[in-house]
Amino acid sequence: MSKKRIERDDGCGFGAGPTSDAQRICAGILASVAWFGLVIEIVFSIQDAVAENASIATYLVNQFSRFSIQTTTLVALVGTLAFLRPQPASFILRPSVQAALVVYVVVVGVVFEVLLQSDSQGIEFVDRILHGAIPVLYLSYWLIFAPKGTLSWVDPALWLIYPLLFFVYTMMRGMIFGIYLQHVSEVIKQGYRETFLHTLVFFAAFLAVGLILVSVDQALAERRNRCPCG
């Protein structure tokens, strides 16, 4: 076997891990789509700032204060690192980190389709990349290439830390500067009780998707272990 090709395909389906060459190609495609969506979004933000004679820095800070932009940036980094260095040597390529990112992008995609699509003020094809293509592509990438059998039932609770930090940042930024994301602003107008209930629903969604992902991870690992390979 060639040293350049690390053969990992045992023919057992999802999660078995095809060759590193195939993984690098798919990681490169994933990274390209994610970076493309981010660059286009940034370009439009700069154009809007110039058109309104406003601060470009403020517009960019507002963009990167969005959960979808942050998670897409992380997807782009995962894809880039996996393309350049397929082995999970860095923190962001650890199985638990990659799985957490699946939870985040899936929730982003579902929330946008169910709640935010009609209120979106962005460019439609950019929204489709950030909230449609990225969740589907990254979930597919995780199913096919990520190592399976490493997740535990504690992980979904740990994965809530990032959304919690994001929520705290969003609320603190809003209270200090009076700047809220559009949908957050609409919820806050309904009162703190509604804000609290909406927050609980979102965290429940993150936790539920995380538990489903762990069950999928364990099922795929068990399937791989039962497969008469070799």
> pLDDT in tens for each of the 230 residues of the chain?
444 443 444 445 555 455 578 889 999 999 999 999 999 999 988 998 899 888 888 888 888 888 989 999 999 999 999 998 756 567 888 999 999 999 999 998 888 777 655 444 456 778 888 888 999 999 999 999 998 999 999 999 999 999 999 988 888 887 777 676 655 555 556 666 777 788 888 899 999 999 999 999 999 998 877 765 54
**Residue 101: predicted pLDDT:** 97
Helices (H), the chain: 20-51, 56-63, 67-84, 95-111, 124-128, 134-145, 155-158, 161-177, 182-188, 192-226
For 22, how many CA atoms within 13 A lie in the half-sphere containing its CB?
12
Torsion sign over Cα 164, 166, 169, 170: negative
Q: What is the pLDDT of residue 79?
A: 94
Could you tell me the pTM of the whole model?
Answer: 0.83
Sign of CA dihedral 63, 64, 65, 67: positive
Instruction: Reduce the DSSP state of residue 228 to 3 states and report it.
Output: coil
Q: Compute CA distances 46 → 60, 61, 214, whole Å.
A: 8, 11, 40
